[in-house]
Amino acid sequence: MSASVLAIVPLVDSGWTLAGIRMRHLLDGRAGPRNRLGGGVLIGAGLALAALQAR
């Protein structure tokens, strides 16, 4: 199992890195888009948590 984790984790981390590089233009410069993106992520996490609690 550890061999599969060692094979998969670098691929997943590389994917996150590439996604971050592509989204860099959204996060540079003004704080407005960055705040909206961060707020949207937090709202989505809160809604997901509320949906899980409702079960």
The share of the chain scoring above pLDDT 90, in percent, equals 56
Q: For residue 47, which of 16, 39, 33, 5 has the smallest C-alpha distance?
A: 39
- Confidence (pTM): 0.46
Total number of domains constituting the chain: 1
CA dihedral 21, 19, 4, 49 (to 10 degrees): 130
Mean pLDDT to the nearest integer, 1-16: 93
Per-residue pLDDT reduced to its tens digit, 32-51: 777 888 899 999 999 999 99
- Can you give the pLDDT at residue 23? 82
d(CA 54, CA 44): 15
DSSP secondary structure string for all residues of the chain: -HHHHHHHHHHHHHHHHHHHHHTHHHHSS-HHHHHHHHHHHHHHHHHHHHHHHH-
Average pLDDT over residues 18-42: 83
Which domain, by its residues, includes 48? 2-54
